[in-house]
Structure 1
Amino acid sequence: MVDTPAAAPRLYYGDLDVARGVLMALGVFLHSAVLFSTDVFANYGADSDPGPYRFLVDAIHLFRMPAFFAVSGFFCAMSLRRQSVTAFLRLKSRRILVPLLSVLLTFNMIELWLRQAARSEPEIHAGAAFRFPLDPTLFGELLLHLWFLVVVFVYFLLAMLVTALVAAVGERRHKIARGAFARIERMPNAAIGTWFLAAIALAYAPHAAGSLGPELIYPQWVFGIAPFTILYYAPFFAFGAALNFMPQLTERWRQFSLPKLLGFSAAIVLVPAVAASGWFGETAMVAVSAIGAWICVLSIFGLFNAAMRLVGDRSRAFAEPAYTIYLLHHILVFLLGWLLLSQGIDGALAFGLVVASTLGLTLTIHYSVVRKSAAMRLLLNGK
């Protein structure tokens, strides 16, 4: 066990576990909206207005991954306070890398073939997707929706390094860290303005780094992921990790309040609307998006806590199958969208069918196959 600045209480934050699951499952809505807001199926007669789907993409994108990384950081810190770095690495390697490779080399590969075929086949028929060899240029897209697994694993490795360094500095430094966390916990809510100023500065940091060294920050060095992406989401992960060392502040943010609900609702409506209006340039939108994302992150803890209280223990049903839903949904969303548009079904009906069918199929696969098979639990859930 690694000695860390504070002893970790053995608590189960069910609301945050559910939040992590729901945020992953929201990928079904996000990627379904992406299909109908882009020209992926333009040559199939898609004529629905992309505006509403583009708005939905922007609204979900504003908070989903920032909140997911914040919750992941929280649970990462909790795990590292309870177990050794070695045990943590072993657990997370199995939990992250095994499903990543399993889906990457099967479903993602198949989806790339389907995408290649969809560009030239107006109708789906047996063998259409495999008529041509896979275009080598598509291998750069092989990660598809799995990019977040690579990013979160990088954060886990960095968290392990920080934990090892903290363990090496001695008890005196631990007391300093505990004092710093205690002072932050005692800060009044009025100090939230300082948080947002820091958040805006952190949002500009990846862009500033990109300006100074674009050849280092923007190329996709990390298994198809740019350092820019890792830098952009790092503050959210660090916030969640730090929050785990401040139980009083955690409880404060987990409390529901009407301002949190109103703030979250306003952010997911106004920020996409402002972005679509073109009122602000790219530089100003960095600040607007950062403020919106942090409002959502700071609100979502309380919203999920309240939602779980309303639903009760049944809410945990959202957490268990979430990994399966996320890993398998991408290919199903694409294939179902292709099938429906090939049959002339477009618009809100097609979108609803894609979402409902994908959720139904992935839930069925989880409870009928993954949950009942040790091999499939390992391959698709890392358990």
Structure 2
Amino acid sequence: MAPAEHTGAAPERLHALDAVRGGALLLGIVLHTTLSFIPAPTRIWIIQDSHPSMTLGVLFFTIHVFRMTTFFLIAGFFGHMSFHRRGGGAFIKDRLQRIALPLVVGWPIVFAAMVAVVFWAASYPNGGPVPGVPRWPPVLPAFPLTHLWFLYVLLELYAAALVLRLGVAWLDKSGRIRAGVDRLMGLVMRSWLAPAILAVPIGIALNLDPTWVGWFGVRTPDQSLITNLQAVIGFGTAFGFGWLLHRQVDLIRIWERRWLLNLVLAVVLIAASFALAIVPRPRPDVIRFAGATCYALAIWTTTFAVIGVALRFLSGFSASRRYLADASYWLYLIHLPIVMALQVALSSLDWPWPAKFAAILLVAVPVMLGSYQLMVRHTFIGTVLNGRRMPRPEKPAGAAASPAAT
């Protein structure tokens, strides 16, 4: 069976999905900015600020619930779109350029900058290397992928999708299997229990992990070249669902129609998950089970809600949203050492936490946007990251002869 074609308003609606993808990356900057402020019995970050905030702890928890699942779902959706627009060979070349190359070239630069900041943080109270993090050089498969782990996992998922697709195409020459999968996708998407159905795999994975900590949700594979089982199941399910969903694009309208219900349920489930996560240890098994189950439901309900809200309110074209979506990839790649340095610099100041948190973002984001505009958007770097080079705006006729130009 051939992939379903875009219909009706689908092209316009893709603006909303592009905004969600960019928003997920930008929320990562906010999330990492909260880390130095999270109150914890032991230090969880390179610096612990002198003015911790439970409010920022709640913000961290909320963003962490849905951000990467949403990102990988959108990545799978756009991955399938790109594959069928480009063809297999061109798709592989494009992914190597836009995903593998930034990882290989960018990781050493970003990691060196982060190490320098960590050494600087060690001279501050409550600063320095986080206990338990492997030291350099690593013993493989341990490896500090840092926040760029998502690129590594994306490459794994693209490879898996291509291999599975080849296998299905060889076995399913009549198209019956693909038609059956499409019908199943339709049934799941139309069901009011869709978030619960998709939550089953990651819910089982969380419940089977006796060391699972509700604060940090799905274990991120940032310290190893072997992706952990929780990440494979949680993010792999999201990517695969997005890949298959693109075969029937109009199904995303269901999220738009149910945005309010999913948003209300998401708020309730996140609140319940947070309450269960902060229960002091040792926790009874029933509390751990309830926390993991609630968290898994929160992941998917919030993912549906976020995409539904975007489809409802952000489907039209916006030049500013498009600009931020294009810039978000570069900003996320470079942000962490910049944010870390600002966290260290402000950590000992006797400012209230809202002032420090705002100061970090108000300094970091404009600097990074400036670097994107000057160094990336109209250069070969922008071509590598975004797949096309943005034309520079032309000067008005006669501008060279104006007094200001002399």
TM tier relative to shorter chain: 0.7 to 0.9
Residue number in structure 1 paired with 2:3: 6
Could you tell me whether the CA contact under 8 Å between 2:17 and 2:310 is conserved in 1? yes
* Letter in structure 2 aligned against 1:61: H
Taking the TM superposition and a 5 Å limit, the aligned residue runs for 1:313-328 are 313-328=319-334
Measure how far apart 1:291 and its partner are.
0.5
Could you tell me whether the CA contact under 8 Å between 1:41 and 1:338 is conserved in 2? no
| 1: CA distance, partners of 2:45 / 2:233 | 34
Spell out, residue by residue over 1:91-128, the C-alpha distance to the aligned partner (whole angstroms, 9 max, x if none).
Answer: 11110111112221112222112213311356x9xxxx
| 1: CA distance, partners of 2:148 / 2:360 | 20
Structure-1-length-normalised TM-score:
0.82
Residue number in structure 2 paired with 1:228: 230
Residue number in structure 2 paired with 1:136: 136
Task: Call closer, same or farther: CA 1:244–1:94 in 2, change over 3 Å.
Answer: same
Measure how far apart 1:243 and its partner are.
1.3
| 1: CA distance, partners of 2:45 / 2:66 | 29
Taking the TM superposition and a 5 Å limit, the aligned residue runs for 1:1-383 are 5-9=2-6, 12=11, 13-37=14-38, 46-121=49-124, 136=136, 142-172=144-174, 174-182=175-183, 184-185=185-186, 189=190, 191-193=191-193, 195-207=194-206, 223=225, 225-255=227-257, 257-277=259-279, 281-309=287-315, 312-345=318-351, 347-374=353-380, 376-377=381-382
Task: Call closer, same or farther: CA 1:102–1:287 in 2, change over 3 Å.
Answer: same
Task: Call closer, same or farther: CA 1:314–1:221 in 2, change over 3 Å.
Answer: closer
> In the comparison of the two structures, how many residue pairs are matched?
364
| 1: CA distance, partners of 2:87 / 2:222 | 32
Measure how far apart 1:8 and its partner are.
4.1
Could you tell me whether the CA contact under 8 Å between 2:69 and 2:235 is conserved in 1? yes
Q: Name the stretch that deviates more: 46-55 or 17-26.
A: 46-55
Measure how far apart 1:86 and its partner are.
1.9
Q: Secondary structure at the match of 1:136?
A: coil
Q: Secondary structure at the match of 1:321?
A: helix
More helix by share: 1
Spell out, residue by residue over 1:137-186, the C-alpha distance to the aligned partner (whole angstroms, 9 max, x if none).
Answer: 579563211111111111111111122122223431x1342244235425
| 2: CA distance, partners of 1:48 / 1:167 | 57
Q: Secondary structure at the match of 1:112?
A: helix
Could you tell me whether the CA contact under 8 Å between 1:74 and 1:242 is conserved in 2? yes
- Identity, in percent, stands at 22
Structure 1 moving runs of 4+ over 6 Å: 41-45, 208-211, 217-221
Spell out, residue by residue over 1:317-352, the C-alpha distance to the aligned partner (whole angstroms, 9 max, x if none).
Answer: 221101011011111110011111244445121111
Could you tell me whether the CA contact under 8 Å between 1:327 and 1:380 is conserved in 2? no
| 2: CA distance, partners of 1:71 / 1:209 | 27
Could you tell me whether the CA contact under 8 Å between 1:8 and 1:78 is conserved in 2? no
Measure how far apart 1:85 and its partner are.
2.0
Residue number in structure 2 paired with 1:129: none
Measure how far apart 1:219 and its partner are.
9.4
Task: Call closer, same or farther: CA 1:138–1:335 in 2, change over 3 Å.
Answer: farther
* Letter in structure 1 aligned against 2:6: P
Could you tell me whether the CA contact under 8 Å between 1:182 and 1:246 is conserved in 2? no
Could you tell me whether the CA contact under 8 Å between 2:260 and 2:305 is conserved in 1? no
Task: Call closer, same or farther: CA 1:136–1:247 in 2, change over 3 Å.
Answer: closer
Task: Call closer, same or farther: CA 1:240–1:362 in 2, change over 3 Å.
Answer: same
| 1: CA distance, partners of 2:235 / 2:224 | 15
Task: Call closer, same or farther: CA 1:167–1:43 in 2, change over 3 Å.
Answer: closer
Could you tell me whether the CA contact under 8 Å between 2:21 and 2:71 is conserved in 1? yes
